A and B are shown apart, each in its own frame.
Chain A
Amino acid sequence: MSETRQLTRNTTEPLWVRVMLITLALVFVAILLVLPLVAVFQTAFQHGVKPYLAAINEKDALAAIKLTLLIAAIAVPLNLVFGVAAAWVLTKFDFKGKNVLSALIDLPFAISPVISGMIFVLLFGRTGVFGPWLIEHNIRIIFALPGMVLATVFVTFPFVARELVPLMQAQGREEEQAAVVLGASGWQTFWRVSLPNIRWGLLYATILCNARAMGEFGAVSVVSGHISGLNNTIPLQVELLYDDYDFSGAFALASILAMLGVVTLILKKLLEWRAGIKADV
């Protein structure tokens, strides 16, 4: 017992240093994280529950919620497929240009979301590269749902692949090779061996991707038309209401996103805990 105490004393900092560091960290967390979160909910409910529900039940707010859910429902599955395919290709095969592909996947993380939005305007806008052709065929991409989905898919593209690549790299290729030698087809190998091995990582990546897809502001803002009730997502509607000095409305909608964030964190922790147990067996 005394030996452990001696050891602890020798390997840790003096008490006052520890107290100071811990206090500093807690103060920062309180000011930067807890306080704003509390403020969001406090402002949202400042006139009581009824106005809160009314603000959410409002026509344009409901439209924003529906649109956000719709975009996420399209973008997340798309990125799930893209991400798994990209991670699979990057980790299980060797080919020329692999490093280039790997770097390109990170591109959306590297550039500002506003620029991402601009790219799509430059491509599909009225005066853009494909603009005239699109107008000719009466297809609307910019200032409409397709453009917002495209922008969201672009911005959230790296989440799944980046989560899966290290995991699949660590798992190696031998299990797949074992499956192939045993006669499994590529499809069987994927569904029976590769996919089950990454299921927890995949779920985790999906949750993160979804949170970002629903919360994305910059890129979607550029390609949306900011028409309330038509193509405003929750973050855009929050901005609109806030600019109109409708604080309780803005904060009521913001609280939905904040709740989504909290739920995401809890799910993430639960998954990490679950995965941790798995790894220990």
Chain B
Amino acid sequence: MSIEISHISKSFGDFQALNDVDLKIESGELVALLGPSGSGKTTLLRIIAGLETADAGSIYFHGEDATERDARKRGVGFVFQHYALFRHMSVFENIAFGLRVRPRKTRPSREVIREKVMELLRLVQLEGLEKRSPAQLSGGQRQRVALARALAVEPKVLLLDEPFGALDAQVRLELRRWLRRLHDELHMTSVFVTHDQEEALEVADRVVVMNKGKIEQVGTPNEVYDKPATPFVYNFLGSVNLFHGRVENGHAVIGNLQVAAPEHANRSETQAVGFVRPHEIDISRESTGTGSLQATVTHINAIGGMVRVELEQKDSREFISAEITRSRYNDLDLKVGDVVYVTPQNIRVFVEDYDFSI
């Protein structure tokens, strides 16, 4: 089932959680809502589920207006960050709940419910634990029970609020891969909220990057990582270096570095910031003229396949973080205090008329 969100706004008192948000989620997609806390991602998810009412705007499920539809009639599965399992019920009863509360006419028989629950337990790999109480399960197991409970009512949409947020790193990694496989098996439209960019980029078909109640960018993981639409996305997805300078006549000038910035060709002289990822910075012993900046090595971290080098730019004293391969590092024979030249391989220039705080 496709979901269309149209001009949704929502505020809590003075706090504007969502500001005129538009988004279309295709049927069968796995979409991540990614953003820092307070960006409105959870509010958007809860509005889709009907747990929160939008102040303005509409929601369409499969082209039908569902804005006023009651949460219990939306046919969505919702997985809460802290599981929200029914604490006084066994695992079995938790999963069976959605079927048991159906009106008599559509309620399956005892045997059918039992079969269904057992099948779901197999799916979430918790066979044999149906008699346990939620308190007797680990965090990862509880989350899988919560997922099974949501799937029991055969929802057309699965919504997950920070599903792995409360788990430790190892379990997190396992569960998110498992979620991806599960989605590929069931092909259910799924939306999950996360503040972990790695999680979003690894699991989702498409990533929706949110900030301050607005959508900054929607795209595949590759698109948002390689072609960030805004400075915010650039900064939020992975680490990044900032070079302060100016643009004039389609060129960005940062210290004695000059790069072409054709997207700003129509601008007269304006303050600008260049964004470069650490792995897009090359270090050399010789200057390449207007293509490089002089800098001093301040710290070297040579653990693992990539070597992280921290440098200080000579003119502006700005901090630069670079990642080079180990063989390149060995060729250069770098030591702390060396004066070298850094060359940004791929620089993205934004003029300074945005609000850059996260």
Interface residues of A (CB under 8 A from B): 174-175, 177-185, 188, 192-193, 196-197, 281
Contact = CB atoms under 8 A, between A and B. Distances in A.
Nearest to A198: B88
Contacts, number: 66
B284 interface: no
Contacts of B84: 174-175, 177-178
B97 A177 contact: no
A178 B136 CA distance: 20
A259 B51 CA distance: 50
A183 B76 CA distance: 9
A192 to B, nearest CB: 7
B227 interface: no
B101 A183 contact: yes
Interface string B150-171: 1011000000000000000000
Interface of B: 49-51, 71-74, 76-78, 80, 82, 84-88, 97-98, 101-102, 133, 135-136, 146, 149-150, 152-153
Nearest to A280: B135
Contact of B49 (A181, A184, A281): A181
Given A174-B82, A193-B86, A196-B88, A184 B97 contact: yes
Contacts of A174: 80, 82, 84
Given A182-B101, A184-B97, A184-B101, A281 B88 contact: no
Given A174-B80, A179-B101, A182-B97, A197 B88 contact: yes
Contacts of B135: 281
A182 B88 CA distance: 17
A180 B86 CA distance: 12
14 contacts: A175-B84, A175-B85, A175-B87, A177-B71, A177-B80, A180-B71, A182-B97, A182-B149, A183-B72, A183-B73, A183-B101, A183-B102, A192-B86, A281-B136
A247 to B, nearest CB: 50
A182 B80 contact: no
A127 B158 CA distance: 65
A179 to B, nearest CB: 7
Nearest to B75: A183
A142 to B, nearest CB: 45
Contacts of A197: 87-88
